[in-house]
């Protein structure tokens, strides 16, 4: 005996659309998790004073970090290990905003004063 299809075309279409919706929701959740992971990774690289996020990311085991139970801690730990082996990818400290004594001095002062006098500026 053959199985008789008792579903109307509308019911079939509804089932197809429901399946598509479920697939789209799963895809959306996967993309959302990926974006959250990338944002967390970017923030941790920034906190670690990374110079080049793309280069640092290439040296990390992304699959292991994404599947981690505690991704934020594992990312920080992986960055610390990377920093020990590849310190050039990270800044050691923030450079000073202003370094004292960088103004005009010494023999340049004569040329500086001459220019100021030529433009009628006070010395």
Whether 109 is covered by a domain: the verdict is no
Whether 52 is covered by a domain: the verdict is yes
Whether 85 is covered by a domain: the verdict is yes
pLDDT given at position 122: 81
Whether 79 is covered by a domain: the verdict is yes
- The predicted-structure confidence for 71-119, as pLDDT tens digits, reads as follows 889 999 999 999 988 888 888 765 556 555 555 455 567 777 888 888 8
Spatial separation of the C-alpha atoms in residues 38 and 7, rounded to whole Å: 45
pLDDT given at position 104: 46
Closest by CA position to 45, among listed 24, 60, 26, 33: 60
Is pLDDT at 68 greater than 90 in this prediction? no
Residues spanned by the domain of 30: 9-92
- The predicted-structure confidence for 8-40, as pLDDT tens digits, reads as follows 888 999 999 999 999 999 999 999 999 999 999
* Residue 44 burial by Cβ neighbours in a 10 Å radius (0-12, 13-18, 19+): buried
Whether 19 is covered by a domain: the verdict is yes
């Amino acid at each position: 005996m053959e199985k008789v299809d008792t579903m109307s075309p509308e019911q079939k279409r509804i089932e197809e659309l429901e399946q598509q919706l479920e697939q789209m929701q799963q895809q959306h959740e996967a993309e959302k998790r990926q974006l959250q992971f990338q944002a967390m990774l970017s923030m941790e690289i920034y906190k670690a004073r990374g110079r080049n996020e793309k280069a640092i990311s290439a040296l990390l085991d992304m699959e292991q970090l994404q599947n981690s139970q505690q991704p934020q801690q594992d990312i920080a730990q992986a960055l610390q290990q990377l920093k020990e082996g590849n310190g050039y990818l990270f800044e050691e400290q923030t450079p000073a905003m202003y370094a004292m004594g960088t103004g005009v001095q010494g023999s340049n002062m004569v040329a500086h004063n001459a220019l100021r006098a030529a433009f009628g500026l006070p010395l």
